[in-house]
Structure 1
Amino acid sequence: MDSTRVCFQLQVKPELIPEYTRRHAAIWPDMAQALKDTGWNNYSLFLRPDGLLIGYFETPSLEAAQAGMAATEVNARWQAEMSEFFVDLDGAPDTGFFQLTEVFHLEDQLPR
Structure 2
Amino acid sequence: MQRIAFKMKLKLGYEAEYKKRHDEIWPELAQLLKEAGVRDYSIFFDEETNTLFAVQKQDGASSQDLGSTAIVQKWWAYMADIMDTNSDNSPVSVPLKEVFYLE
State the partner residue of 1:82: 79
C-alpha distance in 1 between matches for 2:33 and 2:16: 23
Partner Cα separation in structure 2 for residue 27 and residue 34 of structure 1? 12
Q: Deviations over 1:22-71 (max 9, x none)?
A: 1111201111111111121111111122421100101134xx3344x234
For residue 44 of structure 2, the aligned residue among 43, 46, 52 is 46
After TM superposition, the score normalised by the length of structure 2 is 0.82
- 2:15 pairs, out of 5, 14, 17, with 17
AA in 2 matched with 1:74: I
1:15 aligned counterpart, secondary structure: coil
Asked whether the 8 Å contact 1:43–1:56 carries over to 2, the reply is yes
CA distance in 1, matches of 2:46, 2:95: 17
* Deviating more after overlay: 43-52 vs 19-28: 43-52
Larger Rg: 1
Alpha carbon RMSD of aligned pairs, Å?
Answer: 1.8
Of 19, 22, 27, 1:29 maps to 27
Match of 2:67 among 65, 70, 80: 70
What CA distance in whole angstroms lies between the structure 2 residues aligned with 1:28 and 1:56? 20
Point out where structure 2 has 5 or more consecutive residues left out of the alignment.
none
User: 2-side partners of 1:70 and 1:86: how far apart?
Assistant: 16
- Count of residues in Structure 1 that have an aligned counterpart in Structure 2: 99
Kindly indicate which of the two structures has a greater share of residues assigned to helix: 1
Structure 1 residue runs of 5 or longer lacking an equivalent are: 108-112
1:56 aligned partner? 55
Task: Give the alignment's TM-score, normalised by structure 1.
Answer: 0.76
